[in-house]
Structure 1
Amino acid sequence: MADEWKEDNGRARPADDKTWALIEKTMLASVREQRRARRWGIFFKLLTFAYLIVMLVLFTPLLSLGKKGGVTESGAHTALIELKGVIADDEKASADNVVTALRKAFDDSNTRGVVLRINSPGGSPVQSGYIYDEIKRLRGLHPDIKLYAVITDLGASGAYYVASAADAIYADKASLVGSIGVTAASFGFVGTMEKLGVERRVYTSGEHKAFLDPFQPQKPEETRFWQQVLDTTHQQFIDSVKKGRGDRLKVEGHPELFSGLVWSGEQALTLGLIDGLGSASYVARDVIKQERLVDYTQEDSPFDRFAKRLGASVAERLALYMGWQGPTLR
């Protein structure tokens, strides 16, 4: 082996210069091949990306056709709009979806009446307020078109807030109605942190900036402040229900009416929370006198649902984990 190597200025190299040249040539060829493969890889990735963009542009209009309520219906009918699930900005029962459906229903010259069919535990007071205000506005613009709220299984809190804006409310005798109250819940982990020997460090600018931090002890003055926020929101809820229901509410002798309790449809009728017992079909057939129902409910297309999932904000997730969700009508 010693004969195959020679010393050259203190460095060992192959005795055969041709062997070294061949190794060098092979290594350079390998580098060039890697660069070529990388360039082609980038090219195909860009090509694939461009293809996806083109497909989205071409098929988005077709996917949007999956939304209900997008076409004006011919012939007299009763417009049906579903309000189902939690009322929140990123849910099916968002103010944007419900308001869009309401506008299309009222603007259709063939609409003889509107049924808002509700099955919801409530949700955001802001989103509920948006829908409430829009119902009032549309009723003012179209006084000849009546809107009836029909509660199926559940019409509570923010959902009842919305229903109270209708001309009349119907429910089944076993429906759950009411829950006129506000809640905001979190957790307290102070004792747990102490037991684990973990120290919480929070740096803020503003004396009360971290007042809802579940890892710090509550302060009496901050608890009182937060209660005032909830009480204010509750009073706004009560005022809106009173304005919507008027003298039909049996407030006298029933102080528990705005306590957050929930009643059956039969009890709600006695309390003036609803106007009658019946289904959406009953209201269309016997109240509006137009049995044909046309669904105007706004539903996201597959593309919209994908985009919403993709665009969920990190801040929103952090707020959920930290317990900072704001007041909820539930």
Structure 2
Amino acid sequence: MTSDFDPANNAVPAPWHVRLLGRDKTVIPVVRLSGVIEAASRPGRINIQSAAPLLKRAFGIKRAPAVAIIINSPGGSPVQSRLVAKYIRDLAEEKEKQVLVFVEDVAASGGYFIATAGDEIIADPSSIVGSIGVISASFGFEEAIEKIGVKRRLYTAGKNKSTLDPFLPEKKADIDRLKKLQLDIHDVFIDYVKSRRGDKLDTENKDLFTGEFWTAKTAIDFGLVDKLGDMHEVLREKFGKKVKIERITPKKPLFGVPRLPFMQIGASDESFTDDLISSVEAKSMWSRFGL
């Protein structure tokens, strides 16, 4: 007659059929959010439309005590950042699960906004975090079109409809209005970070909300990060060696290979140009952090 007692760990192992099905392991679903944050549905972008189905599936795994979220983003749309962060918190409260956020190369600006939805933020010592600020960028073409003999003809109903038109000279009133919008958005960002990070933040640091960014090795002293480490190491520490990582990935289309926007039937030159410009802008955002 054999005994189920295990003298190695002074514990009774799970029944054989439970071990066979892997039910003796702690399942931790993992969602990876990587890319620039923008509303447009393009490959390598983060938005509520693409993130929500993955997050819903992850939080829907009943026997998982926590959900791990990998974030790798230089930022982008403040609205999409807030929508994704709010959805994470709504699901965490509804399903009563802990949220662990793991930073890869960068969680800056909107990327950090989403990261703060976690109960804990864990990063590699060399990860870039922070950039709690708001930025707008554009070009001015008024002199260029004059040199090539092009005249701008613009007709509006409403004196402010041509605000910041790139083919017209800048107006101080337009810049002042833009600054007001930026300050409003910045306040929302700061308030959210404060509400999520609370007493962890080093509020004596005057650079904390200036848009500055740091390596996680430094940012941990400011309260922007909770711990240095990698996902596998941290999950084993928290949930034991038998932790089972279940990666939640987008469902593949039923037929064929998914088509990129510019490969779709009937795609116009304009859509191709938009995709190209978006790719250049995304590259510019990544390169700001040396990536």
Shorter-normalised TM range: 0.7 to 0.9
Distance 1:317 1:227 in 2: 29
The CA deviation string for residues 233-277 of structure 1, in whole angstroms up to 9 with x for no partner, is 11111111111111111112x111111111001111000001000
The within-5 A match list for 1:162-311 is 162-252=114-204, 254-289=205-240, 291-298=243-250, 301=253, 305-306=258-259, 308-309=261-262, 310=264
Distance 2:132 2:68 in 1: 22
Give the 3 Å change call, closer, same or farther, for CA 264–83 of structure 1 in structure 2.
same
Identity fraction in percent: 36
Unaligned runs of 5+ in 1: 1-72
Give the 3 Å change call, closer, same or farther, for CA 258–288 of structure 1 in structure 2.
farther
Give the 3 Å change call, closer, same or farther, for CA 152–320 of structure 1 in structure 2.
closer
- How far is 1:175 from its partner? 0.6
Larger mean CA deviation between 86-95 and 151-160 belongs to 86-95
The within-5 A match list for 1:143-158 is 143=96, 145-158=97-110
Higher helix share goes to which structure? Answer: 1
- How far is 1:185 from its partner? 0.6
Counterpart code for 2:108: A
Larger mean CA deviation between 176-185 and 84-93 belongs to 84-93
Unaligned runs of 5+ in 2: 1-20
Q: Is the 8 A contact 2:156 2:162 kept in 1?
A: yes
Give the 3 Å change call, closer, same or farther, for CA 265–299 of structure 1 in structure 2.
farther
Q: Is the 8 A contact 1:74 1:110 kept in 2?
A: no
The CA deviation string for residues 129-179 of structure 1, in whole angstroms up to 9 with x for no partner, is 111111111121122x21111001111111100010110000011110111
Counterpart code for 2:93: G
Cross-structure match for 2:38: 88
Distance 2:74 2:274 in 1: 24
- Relative CO higher for 1 or 2, CA cutoff 8 Å, sep ≥ 6? 1
The CA deviation string for residues 275-310 of structure 1, in whole angstroms up to 9 with x for no partner, is 000111122211244621110132563768427553
Cross-structure match for 1:97: 50
Counterpart code for 1:140: E
Cross-structure match for 1:132: 85
Larger mean CA deviation between 134-143 and 236-245 belongs to 134-143
Runs of 4+ with >3 A deviation = 73-76, 299-305, 307-321
Cross-structure match for 1:61: none
Does structure 1 residue 106 correspond to structure 2 residue 56? no
Q: Secondary structure at the match of 1:306?
A: coil
Does structure 1 residue 159 correspond to structure 2 residue 108? no
- How far is 1:317 from its partner? 6.2
Cross-structure match for 1:69: none
Q: Is the 8 A contact 1:135 1:165 kept in 2?
A: yes
The CA deviation string for residues 178-235 of structure 1, in whole angstroms up to 9 with x for no partner, is 1111111110011222233321111122211121211101111111001111111111
Larger mean CA deviation between 172-181 and 303-312 belongs to 303-312
The CA deviation string for residues 106-125 of structure 1, in whole angstroms up to 9 with x for no partner, is 11113232110111111111
Does structure 1 residue 77 correspond to structure 2 residue 20? no
Distance 2:82 2:258 in 1: 24
The CA deviation string for residues 27-66 of structure 1, in whole angstroms up to 9 with x for no partner, is xxxxxxxxxxxxxxxxxxxxxxxxxxxxxxxxxxxxxxxx
Distance 2:138 2:59 in 1: 40
Distance 2:250 2:63 in 1: 19
Q: Is the 8 A contact 1:149 1:166 kept in 2?
A: yes
Q: Secondary structure at the match of 1:148?
A: strand
CA RMSD of aligned residues (A): 2.7
Q: Is the 8 A contact 1:151 1:169 kept in 2?
A: yes
Distance 1:237 1:266 in 2: 23
Distance 2:148 2:175 in 1: 26
- Whose radius of gyration is greater, 1 or 2? 1
TM-score (structure 2 length as normaliser): 0.78
Distance 1:101 1:293 in 2: 15
Q: Secondary structure at the match of 1:214?
A: coil
Distance 2:272 2:81 in 1: 19
